[in-house]
Amino acid sequence: MSEQPARVCGHWIGSEHRYCRTTDGVRHYLPGYRCPAHTPRALRGLAEIPPGPGLPAGAWTTVSPLNESRVHGALAIVSGKRRASQAGRRAALTVVASRGEWL
């Protein structure tokens, strides 16, 4: 075992009394490194699962507490509860107006 290079198919071919030891296309699976012919699904006669599309585009559009606090800060500036510079007040007005919460 220790003399094997890292990425070698470790499937035991019982009928030939040897390990596969193929190095082409070897990937790590739960039982260890396996070539495409000896993946857990291939051994059960199943097709490999195709790679998925990844995360959906809107996966991170949840309103974060940071954004919420910015909006509440803008409301406070517009209502006069919180001080801000002239530019900050203008930005707050834009934010509040775009959300339609003030008018």
Q: Is 100 helix (H, G, I), strand (E, B) or coil?
A: coil
CB nearer Zn ion, residue 1 or residue 87: 1
How far apart are alpha carbons 93 and 77 in whole angstroms?
A: 8
CB nearer Zn ion, residue 33 or residue 96: 33
Residue with tokens 């934010």: 95
60's tokens:
């991170």
Q: Taking the complex as a whole, how short is the minimal distance between the CB of residue 51 and Zn ion, in angstroms?
A: 21
CB nearer Zn ion, residue 9 or residue 74: 9
Q: Taking the complex as a whole, how short is the minimal distance between the CB of residue 49 and Zn ion, in angstroms?
A: 18
Q: Taking the complex as a whole, how short is the minimal distance between the CB of residue 3 and Zn ion, in angstroms?
A: 18
Residue type, 94: T
Which residues of the chain form contacts with Zn ion (CB under 5 A)?
Answer: 9, 11, 20, 22, 35, 38
